Structure 1
Amino acid sequence: MESLIKPDQTWLLWSFLIGWAAVSIHLEQKYKWASKVTSSVIALLGSLVLSNLHIIPTESPVYDKVWTYMIPLAIPMLLYECNIKKIWRESGRLLLTFIIGAVGTLVGAFVGYFALRNHIPNLGYVATIMTGSYIGGGVNFVALSDAFNTPSEIIAATTIADNVLMALYFFVLLSIPSMDFFRKHYSHPLIDEVESKSKATTAGTMEEHKGTDNMKKAEVTVKDIAFAFASSVIIVTISIGISDFFSRIIPTSNHFFGILNSLLGNMYLILTTLTMLLATYKAKFFSSIKGAQEIGMFLMIVFMVVIGTPASIPTIIKTAPLLLVFCAIMVAINMLIIFIGAKIFNFNLEEAIIASNANVGGPATAPAMAISKGWTSLVGPSILVAVCGYVIGNYFGIIVGNILI
């Protein structure tokens, strides 16, 4: 059945993709219910409904352009703050806790895969993208989906299952500080500090944070936008050249070289590594580019609109519940290993909670939880380690993909 808007109506489709992405962001920022759903899910659901109603096409060259150009451009912009030296210097303990959680996510991916592979089709794709997502967040989800050409129905169903699971898990994390078991077996100096303060002091602290957040907002200039796009285009171009070079020169005659070819020939792995090195050793330049993070996130929301277009609602309804179980297995094992690791290394309860949040939710949710709990000393470090997860998550996800797909 033909759609109302035809695949070759280029400008009309671009208007829809970018317009609906903008509306999704607006809804998230204006309405409480939308902030809980998130702009990514709103963007996906809108295009999902319209494509199933045959208003927009399920395939179009316009969608291909988003995959080919927008996603590679977005990733470097989102990594410009990934200064590994700074992350280690300012957040060493939290980073180690975060890495333990990343290992937990990796273990959870394999456990979930072998437990459910006979019940969920193409589960290797899900394990791959969720490994990246539950180490670094939505950026890795998108990069790995593109890197392994994940079917759109799987991406849409997994996105829904992932967001439902994250909401439930964040409720669990928020509840842990009040549980006697955890307070008995872990040190919790920040919780004690918050509880010892009066309401007046707490209110003053919140106002101080509000003022700090406002101070951090800086004007984005034309130069910033120009440098963000120019540097990202150059980094993507170089990364494609390097990955193509490795793909040509590394033989695939045996299993070891075949894996090496898949890893070094993967444009996203090279792109992530190169950007991380530049952000570390040319930190002054890249950290000075304002607005890059925001541009990158907007391009990601446009991608989520595209993801919803070819997905079938009946397929999602059939698949999503089992995917929710798979995601729950991954998150449960992440939590188990991260809390065991925190106990072994004598890390604080607050560090374990925030590190697990940074694994599963990424740079947006971890500092939000730290602020909401009054753990002010963890706000900055939580952002740094979560951004580092963009790099670690891509590495782990590509390894899982080469084994399970």
Structure 2
Amino acid sequence: METLIQADDHLALWTFVMVAATSAIFIEQRYKWASKIPGAIIALLIAIIASNLKVIPTDAPTYDIVWGYIVPLAIPLLLFKTNIQSLVKESWKLLLLFLTSSIATMIGTVFAFMALRHYIPELDKVSGMISASYSGGGVNYAAMSAKLAPSESINAATIVADNMMMAVYFLILIGLAGVPIIRRVWGSPHTDAIEKNPEMSNSRTLSEAYWKPNLISLKDIAICLAASMLIVLISFKLSAFLQALLGTSDNVVIGLLISLITDKYLLLTTITFVIVSIFKSSFEKLNGSQELGTYCIYLFFVVIGIPASIGLIVTKAPLLFVFVLIIALINLAITMGVGKLFKFSIEEVILACNANIGGPTTAAALAISKGWTNLVGPILVIGTVGYVIGNYIGTIIYFIVTQIGM
């Protein structure tokens, strides 16, 4: 199929991917109307429009590089600032709500799979990918997608349905924050504080204010990228070694254990977590990792939107949209119930749901856009725990639904 930019024009395709990601970031931070929409969604929409207008091809080696190298690189970068000790000490209640929301995702995925397994092909793989994504974020989706290797059409349709649902879900969450009866029942101290401080809510874009310039040295950038690549190398080489050493097993339980032990993305998150815990003070002084990691995620969202065609949306996405919406609504219902039981504010409930379904960066973006500045740091840190547990959850759910489908 002829496109304006050919698949072998690597320079032009890299230019498009980087310009699209940069445009999404600029639009999100520059315009007040766009600051309500996660920049990742804007990046994906730019890619969908470009591929459907045949500006870029739907498949190219450039995209494989993003999946194979940029995505793994993003995982350690986004985990470098994770401080579990401080998190448990200062925000343990919010962490428990987030983990409860992760369990709600697992329950919702199994329920949705049982309801629709006869109508959607490869739903076992989709369940593993979505449960990982809805516990961590786009990085976990990419990891599980690479591991489970669904067909390109199902993968693209899932991405389309997921992002359709995400747009709807974010609107629901934003709407809930303003419903008077919801605010009375759950309490909304952070929104109340903003309403008492009108000049804060009238500022241009809080997203731009949050991603304000930081003192990032050349040494910071060098250490961030080199350390992340080194961890990726160690993890992937160790995975290959363990796979050769342990082999495979016909026993279901042993097979699951081998799969967990040898999975390169699980090793990547685990090794990063251990290293960051050991060298906590060094990583706390390191600047730039969140910016670099988040930019990698924007590149990823551009690439995953490229295979999505309008025809695919019409023919494949509707049932998958129902599937992911069921998961999201069960997640919301359970999290709100637990939040009310243990006296969490509606802002905390909304951000816990957002951090699960959309990842910590979109949760932080929502907190920034709503002016809940006191919750930005905690939800960003707590949400990164999803990167650690997301792939484990995805692997476990894939195992469970595979057994159900047998």
TM value normalised by structure 2:
0.86
Aligned counterparts of 1:307 and 1:322: Cα–Cα separation in 2: 20
Please give the residue correspondences for 1:310-325 in structure 2 after superposition, counting only pairs within 5 Å.
310-325=307-322
Query: Is 1:232 the equivalent of 2:228?
Result: yes
**Counterpart position of 1:76:** 76
CA deviation after TM superposition for structure 1 residue 155, in Å? 3.7
Kindly provide the CA deviation profile for residues 19-68 of structure 1, in whole angstroms up to 9, marking residues without a partner as x: 33333333333345554554434433444444445443333333222222
**Counterpart position of 2:103:** 103
Summarize the Cα distance change of 1:258–1:177 in structure 2 as closer, same or farther, 3 Å threshold: same
**Counterpart position of 2:382:** 385
CA deviation after TM superposition for structure 1 residue 359, in Å? 1.8
Structure 2: state its 5+ residue gaps. Answer: none
**Counterpart position of 1:244:** 240
CA deviation after TM superposition for structure 1 residue 94, in Å? 0.5
Aligned counterparts of 1:92 and 1:322: Cα–Cα separation in 2: 37
93-102 or 333-342: which moved more? 333-342
Kindly provide the CA deviation profile for residues 199-245 of structure 1, in whole angstroms up to 9, marking residues without a partner as x: 4x4546988x97x9569641222111111110011100111122223
- Tell me, yes or no, if the aligned pair for 2:113 and 2:123 is still in contact at 8 Å: yes
Summarize the Cα distance change of 1:292–1:375 in structure 2 as closer, same or farther, 3 Å threshold: closer
Summarize the Cα distance change of 1:27–1:18 in structure 2 as closer, same or farther, 3 Å threshold: same
Summarize the Cα distance change of 1:223–1:215 in structure 2 as closer, same or farther, 3 Å threshold: same
**Counterpart position of 2:354:** 357
Query: Is 1:331 the equivalent of 2:352?
Result: no
Aligned counterparts of 1:180 and 1:313: Cα–Cα separation in 2: 38
Aligned counterparts of 2:72 and 2:289: Cα–Cα separation in 1: 14
Aligned counterparts of 1:47 and 1:179: Cα–Cα separation in 2: 34
- Aligned-partner SS, 1:82: coil
> What do you get for the CA RMSD once the two structures are aligned?
3.2
Please give the residue correspondences for 1:189-208 in structure 2 after superposition, counting only pairs within 5 Å.
190=189, 194=192, 199=196, 201=197, 203=199
Matched residues, percent identical?
42
**Counterpart position of 1:85:** 85
**Counterpart position of 2:266:** 269
Amino acid at match of 1:340: G
**Counterpart position of 1:44:** 44
Query: Is 1:94 the equivalent of 2:110?
Result: no
Aligned counterparts of 1:114 and 1:146: Cα–Cα separation in 2: 24
Aligned counterparts of 1:282 and 1:312: Cα–Cα separation in 2: 45
Structure 1: state its 5+ residue gaps. Answer: none
Amino acid at match of 1:242: L
Kindly provide the CA deviation profile for residues 169-214 of structure 1, in whole angstroms up to 9, marking residues without a partner as x: 333334445657656654x3726x927x974x4546988x97x956
CA deviation after TM superposition for structure 1 residue 344, in Å? 4.0
Count of equivalent residues: 400
Summarize the Cα distance change of 1:286–1:315 in structure 2 as closer, same or farther, 3 Å threshold: same
Kindly provide the CA deviation profile for residues 74-98 of structure 1, in whole angstroms up to 9, marking residues without a partner as x: 2111111122112111110000111
Please give the residue correspondences for 1:123-138 in structure 2 after superposition, counting only pairs within 5 Å.
123-138=123-138
TM value normalised by structure 1:
0.86
CA deviation after TM superposition for structure 1 residue 246, in Å? 2.2
**Counterpart position of 1:291:** 288
Aligned counterparts of 2:43 and 2:375: Cα–Cα separation in 1: 31
- Tell me, yes or no, if the aligned pair for 1:251 and 1:258 is still in contact at 8 Å: no
Kindly provide the CA deviation profile for residues 256-306 of structure 1, in whole angstroms up to 9, marking residues without a partner as x: 221112111111111011112222221222232222222222222223333
Query: Is 1:169 the equivalent of 2:165?
Result: no
